[in-house]
Amino acid sequence: MTRSAPSAPAATALYDIPGPLTRRRHFLYGIAASVVILGLIGWAVHLLVDTGQFEGRKWAPFEYKGIQELLLRGLGNTLKAFAYAAVLSLALGALLAVGRLSAHRPPRLVSTVLVEFFRAMPVLVMIFFVFVALKVQPLPALVTGLALYNGSVLAEVFRTGINSVDRGQREAAYALGLRKTQVTAHVLAPQAVRAMMPTIISQLVVALKDTSLGYLITYEEFLHAGKLIASNLDYDLPFIPVVMVISPIYIGMCMLLSWFATWVAKRQRRSPRTEAVGVAPADPGTLLPGAQ
């Protein structure tokens, strides 16, 4: 006698399937929430129109080639600072994670102190310290502050990911005669990185947004370019139009990184190395290979 696979509702064990009344109530809640959100959006648009934020004179700066080049140059500087900070953060995070996982007390203690210190320090304070106290140029100061903070956070991500790998794999690798370095590099680290990839990329999104702190130390990044345009008295201080141009670009870059994290996670789940090979069911009376 064969048993059919349980349907989706029957397989649910963590919560009760909502009934007709609950589904209707949730539908009404959704409609009410949508009406409120649309009302808030309409109110915001009304305020912008009422204060003349869509008038042509406030959007006139974006028609000039010099303004467009200023924005593109600021965007390029933002991406450059992010690229440097991302690479250095990953390298520093890996180095500190290795130190925290060391079997020797001195490197483990030093790495722990550095991680806890840089995680507790505000990013802006570190950037200002490097820029003012050490008299470093704006770009290296910004990259250094971002790398120190995000590298210390990524160190904890790497350490947690390596410790989360099944203990049996570690013991099996040691049983094969591998040294600790080989076990970490060839067995634990690859699995930890694959598991932690969405978290790693999410932290890189934080680093991308924090590049906007560069305008406080006169680094000519994207936000700094927008500030120069918004403070232009010739165009009646087009602050809101500048925000409406710059914000979607920042949001788009962050969403692109988040989408990449989701894509990586889905690709790992679809990897042929982690999927079982489908086998067609045998006909009744068919002997298995090797059976007598």
Taking only the tens place, the pLDDT of each residue in 8-22 is 444 444 557 778 888
User: What is the pLDDT, as a whole number, of residue 9?
Assistant: 46
> Structure pTM?
0.75
Extents of the domains making up the chain: 60-269
**Comparing 17-26, 37-46, 71-80, 267-276, which segment has the lowest mean pLDDT?**
267-276
CATH of 60-269, one of 1.10.3720.10, 3.40.50.150, 3.30.300.30, 3.40.50.850: 1.10.3720.10
Q: How many CA atoms lie within 13 A of 170 on its CB side?
A: 12
What are 179-189's pLDDT values in tens digits?
877 887 778 87
Percent of the chain scored above 90 by pLDDT? 41
Question: In one letter, which amino acid is 38?
Answer: L
Locate 202 and state its tokens. 């999410």
Which of 174, 247, 223, 241 is closest to 73 using CA atoms?
223
What mean pLDDT is predicted for residues 25-53? Answer: 91
Question: In one letter, which amino acid is 109?
Answer: L
What mean pLDDT is predicted for residues 224-238? Answer: 79
Whether 130 and 136 have beta carbons less than 8 Å apart is answered as yes
